[in-house]
Amino acid sequence: MIRPLEENDIEMVCSIVNDNWKHVYAGYVNPLLLDENGCAERARHLKSDFTTHRLSEYVWEEDHQVAAMLSIGDTADTDIPGAFEIWRIYVAAPFQKKGIGRSLLDFAEQQAKEQGRKKIVIWAFKGNYRAVSFYQKYGYCINKEEYLGVPYFAMGIRFVKEIREVAFGVE
């Protein structure tokens, strides 16, 4: 079930995000982002985002346990003004490959449609082949590749998907 993030979810969400960073991004992002200090800094940044409500934050709850998280909102990419952005999708390792990521993606796309957005943006590290394949499978097209210098020191890929209007329940 998808529901808004609550204050008592924050520690678990930070843990899910940091676990993903350490296990998925190892080998192609700055290793300092994956160590104890990097994870602590990321948790501080996440907590700040959550408490300031910069983005809309959601969790996937299964059997009274937070299994995944989603952050959505306006894009910061000035060359696609007014686009909707999926800032974060992270699924805890035991819950991966169960359709949760797809459900969160569908939810984000529905939110974009309800807001009248025309495009959705999502970034991934080029070395994250599973994410790249996942987004392409669901209709996201590579829009640009860019070296993401400090602090990442990795290549990023921006995906964009056009939002189609739904008329009479048919796309």
30-79: pLDDT as tens digits: 999 999 999 999 999 999 999 999 999 999 999 899 999 999 999 999 99
**Backbone torsions φ then ψ of 112, nearest 5 degrees:** -60, -45
Would 171 be classed as within a structural domain? Answer: no
Would 139 be classed as within a structural domain? Answer: yes
Mean pLDDT of 82-96: 96
Percent of the chain's residues with pLDDT above 70? 96
Would 58 be classed as within a structural domain? Answer: yes
Q: What is the largest CA-CA distance in the chain?
A: 51
Mean pLDDT of 5-19: 97
Would 167 be classed as within a structural domain? Answer: no
| Three-state secondary structure call for residue 148 | strand
- Assigned token pair, 117: 């957005």
pLDDT digit string (tens) for 140-164?
A: 999 999 999 999 999 999 999 998 7
Give the CATH number, domain containing residue 19.
3.40.630.30
Would 170 be classed as within a structural domain? Answer: no
pLDDT at 166 over 70: no
Looking at residue 164, its pLDDT comes to: 78
Helix (H) or strand (E) holding 21: helix 10-24
pLDDT at 168 over 60: no
Would 140 be classed as within a structural domain? Answer: yes
Would 131 be classed as within a structural domain? Answer: yes
Looking at residue 56, its pLDDT comes to: 97
**Backbone torsions φ then ψ of 30, nearest 5 degrees:** -50, 120
Please state, in angstroms and rounded to a whole number, the distance separating the CA atoms of residues 125 and 155.
6
Mean pLDDT of 9-21: 97
Would 98 be classed as within a structural domain? Answer: yes
Number of compact structural domains in the chain: 1
- Assigned token pair, 82: 């007014």
Please state, in angstroms and rounded to a whole number, the distance separating the CA atoms of residues 169 and 148.
40
Its domain, for residue 121, covers 2-162
